[in-house]
Each structure stands twice: as C-alpha cells, then as structure tokens.
Amino acid sequence: MEQNSNAILSVRDLSVSYGHIPVLRGVSLEVLRGEIVVLLGSNGAGKTTLMETIMGVNTPGAGSVIFGGRDIARGPVDKNVRDGITLVPEGRGVFASMSVMDNLLLGAHQELRGVDKKLALVFDAFPVLAERKSQNAGTLSGGERQMLAIARALMSTPHLILVDEPSIGLAPIMVAAIFDILVTLNKEGYSILLSEQNVYRALKCAHRAYVLESGRVIREGRAADLLQDHRSTYWGV
Ligand code: ATP
C-alpha cells in the first residue's frame, strides 16, 4: 500500500506476539495530519498492544511504524517522544503520591527549556489542574486524573497524541468533557489516535475509524459512515 503524503503516522503490516500467542496480525492504518482517528474493538482486541507497539514499548515480529520519516517501532521510546509522539495510557498512569505539578514536570521528559510556557498552556487548557497543582494526584477525581494524564502528555510538545481508552470508568458527564477536550486539542492542531469502546461518542468526534477484532483490522472508513453501520454497537463490547 502506498503511503499518503499527508500521513503523520503509517502503520504497515504490524504483527506482535506475546510468547507464541499472536496478538496483532498484519495491522495497517494511517493517521493523516489534523485527524482524529479512532480505533474500536472489544476487550482483548489488541488496542493497547497496538498503541504500545507504535510507541516502541513492544517489539513487533514484523511490520513498520513510520513517524517523522523514520521507523519508530523498535524505539527507543524516549527518542520517539522527543520526536513528537506521545501516549496517554489506559488507566491514566499518573503517579498518585506525587503532586499534580510534579506529574506535569515528568511529562516534559527532562526538557526544561520553555517549561514555564508549557505549564502556562496546560493550566490555561485545564484550569482545574492549576487550582490543584500542589495536591497529590491520588486525591484527584477520575476525570481530573484523565485530564492530568492528557496534560502531562502535552508537556512533551507532541504532534501526535495516542489516547488509550480515556473514557473507561468515568461518569457520563466527565466522558463528555474528555471528548470535548480531545476535539479542542485537535482543532488546535494536534493529530490524535484514540482507542475506545464507547463507540457512539468516539465515532461522533473522529474523522475516520478502524475496527480491530482478534488483532486484525476488520473494517475501516469515515467515522460518519461507520456510525450508520448496524453492526457498530458490537464493536466496543
Ligand atoms: P482492553 O480493552 O481489555 O485493554 P485491548 O484491545 O486493549 O483490550 P490488549 O490489552 O492489547 O487488548 O490485549 C490483547 C491480547 O493480548 C489479550 O488477549 C491480552 O490478554 C493479551 N496480552 C496483553 N498484554 C499481554 C502480556 N504482557 N502478556 C501476555 N498477553 C498479553
């Protein structure tokens, strides 16, 4: 398959196994500049494995992940982050016993030049984090923790943000707030690859979507078209 010249990320024929068990089987997908692309799939479909492999955390048995003109699939992860790709992990991954501020500073990956400006930007986007910057992250609500995880990712000044199942465990009103934040970030110029089981909300905010089942892409297309597909309710359960 030919690479779209507007692609910020191109995943090609990616296969990953845990031991002898294949988890991703020849996955190909693209994120174009300025897009929100959603990855749908039920528990165990391979969404987290795909995101971690894109970041360079897992080593694929075959395939490539082209970002910034380079195959980043085999890491190193810190170089990939410095090159402009970042992951907001499933479960948020914030450090509960550290303050909100220290969690954010960790997100800067030791690049402390311009850190005050980056902090000002994230506090502007997430005023609740500014109010709570001295508080331990463990005292935040689930939704605030998800905001912190996204804000921490922004501290590395990414061009592409991978967001793994941000709505998990959140009250509906907070889910709506998190999707609004992702749409706003996208309008500000960030490209986003989002994994979700909340099919309806994800398709409403995304430009395009891929459906993963047992480690294979079984459907792809414009989010608006997939929303009309009567099978869509099954793609997140
Ligand atoms: P969920 O929504 O439940 O997180 P997912 O689509 O993100 O699901 P993965 O977490 O990527 O799916 O898991 C895909 C498959 O790989 C599952 O069968 C899971 O049990 C298996 N798996 C994930 N991590 C490991 C690991 N470290 N070692 C062995 N098997 C793993």
Tens of pLDDT, residue by residue over 120-175, are 999 998 999 999 999 999 999 999 999 999 999 999 999 999 999 999 888 888 89
- Select from 47, 88, 198 the residue to mutate for testing ligand 1; criterion: most ligand atoms less than 8 Å from CB: 47
Residue 125, SS3 per DSSP: helix
**What is the number of the ligand 1 atom nearest to the C-alpha of 19?**
29
Length of the chain: 237
For residue 7, CA distances in Å to 11, 206, 222 come to 10, 16, 16
Band of pLDDT at residue 3, cut at 50, 70 and 90: low
Atom 20 in ligand 1: which residue has the minimum CA distance? 44
Look-up of token digits 């380079």: 70
Distance 25 CA to ligand 1 centre (A): 13
Asked if 47 and 58 touch (Cβ cutoff 8 Å), the reply is no
> In the prediction, which pLDDT does 4 show?
76
Look-up of token digits 């998800």: 146
Please check the confidence at residue 186 and state whether its pLDDT lies above 60. Answer: yes
Residue 53, SS3 per DSSP: helix
Distance 110 CA to ligand 1 centre (A): 31
Please check the confidence at residue 237 and state whether its pLDDT lies above 70. Answer: no
Distance 39 CA to ligand 1 centre (A): 15
Distance 220 CA to ligand 1 centre (A): 21
pTM value surpassing 0.85: yes
Higher-confidence position of 172 and 233: 172
Task: Report which DSSP code applies to 99.
Answer: B
Taking only the tens place, the pLDDT of each residue in 50-103 is 999 999 999 999 999 999 889 999 879 999 999 999 999 987 788 999 999 999
Q: Which of 23-37, 82-96, 104-118 has the lowest mean pLDDT?
A: 104-118
